Structure 1
Amino acid sequence: MSTVPMHDPLRLSANAEFKAQYNKTLRWSTVVAIALVLLIWMLTPDYVPNPYKLRQEEFEAIDIAEQQAVDIPPPPVEAPPPPKVVEAAPDDEVAEDVDIADTLMDLDEAISTAMPGFGPVGDEGFVASSENPKVLLQVKAEYPEMARRAGLEGTVTVKVLVGPDGTVKDAVIIVGVNPLLNKAALEAARKWKFIPGKQRNIPVKAWMALPFVFRMN
C-alpha cells in the first residue's frame, strides 16, 4: 500500500516569510535609490556654459612725425675719356706702332690705286664737293696686342663719310689686311673730326680715304 507524501508545514512557512521579506527589501531599495538620485540632482548646481572669448590686444597709437622728402641727387656720370689727339709729327719722325699717312688720299685715287677695278661709288654714296674736308682731329689706331704677337703688319685704308657737321657718319674698309687690324682702323677713323667739305660755300657730305699703317718696330 502506497503512501502520499505530505508537505512539511514548517518549510512552507519559512519559504513564504522569505519571499515576503525579499519583496519588502527590494521595494525599499528601489525607493532609496530613486531618492538618492533625486537628492544628487537637486544638490548639483546648474551647468552654465562659459564660451571662450578671444583675447583682444590693445595697440598703442604712435604719432610719426611727417618726414620731409629729401631729394637724392643722381650719381655722377663719368664722362668718357676724350679721344687721343695725334699731333702732326715732323717728316723725319716715325710713329711707334701705327702711322697715319702724311696726306689724306682722295677717294677716287684711293680706290683706283688700292683696288683696281673696284669701280666708281654709286649715287647713294657719292657726294660732290668743290672743297674737300680738312682734318681737325686725328685719332691714332691702337695696335691690337693679338695682332702684334702674331706679327701682323700692313696698311688699312678706310673710306669715311664726313657729314656737314664735320663728324664721321660712316666708315667702310677699302683695303683690309686682317680682321683685327681692320677693326682697329675703323674704330679710330670714326673718331676723326673734320672741317666739312663745301659746295658753293655750303657744308655738304663728302667721302675721304684714311690710310692707317700698322708696322712692327
Structure 2
Amino acid sequence: MYADRLNRTGGFNPGSLGVALVINGAVIGALFFAAPGLVTSTPPEGPLITYVPYTPPPPPEPVPPADPLVRQQPRPAPRPDAPITVVQIPQTEGFAVTPDPLPYIPPIGVEGTGTGTVAIDPPKPAPVFVQPGIDPRYAADFQPSYPSEERRAEREGKVVVRVLVGVDGRVKQVERISATTDTFYRATLDRAMAKWRFKPATRDGVPVKAWRSMSLTFVLQN
C-alpha cells in the first residue's frame, strides 16, 4: 500500500509520495465512517463537578503601634504664682457642745423693750361635761312590767342596757349588754323607748346627745 519513497534508480520521486498520502487519507476516512464510535469520545455519565481553587483570606491590616511619646509625656507642673488653698480644720479640744436654749417666753404682764406690754392669754379650761341623769318626774316609770311567762315560771332576771339620750331627754337608741332571757330584754326595750325620760347631758351648759348604761332587776314578790 505504501510506495517506495526512494527510487531504485536513485533520487526522490514526488509522485510516489502523493500517491501514498492519498491512499492513507482514504483508509482513515473509511475507518471514520465505518466505526464513528471509535473516533468520537463519549462524555462520562454523572453530574459535572467543578472544583474552585482555594484562595487564602487576605492578611489582617497591621495595627499601628501606640505612640510611646504620648504615655511618657509628664504632667504639667503647677505654676509658681498659683494660689494655694488652705483648708481650716476646726479645733475641738477645749470646747464643749451645748444644745440650743429654749425659746424665750416673756411672763404675763411684763413690759418689753418696745412701747407696749407683752401679755399671753391663760390656757382655756377643759370643757365641762355632765352625764345624762334620770328625770325625777318619771322615776316611777323606769321599772318594766314583769313578763307573765317569766312569772309563771317563777324565774327572776337582770338586764343591762346602754341607751342614747337625746337633747330632749328621750331615748333614741338601745343596745343590749346582757340579759337573763330575751323576754326580760324585750320588756326593758319597750319600756325604755316609751316611758324613760332623762335630763340630757350638757357640755359647758349646752345640751348634747350622750350614752348611759342602765341596770334593771326583776324580782318576784310574795
Q: Same fold (TM over 0.5)?
A: no
Q: Compare relative contact order (CA 8 Å, sep 6+) and give the higher one, 1 or 2.
A: 1
Q: TM-score, normalised by structure 1?
A: 0.39
Structure of greater Rg: 2
Q: TM-score, normalised by structure 2?
A: 0.38
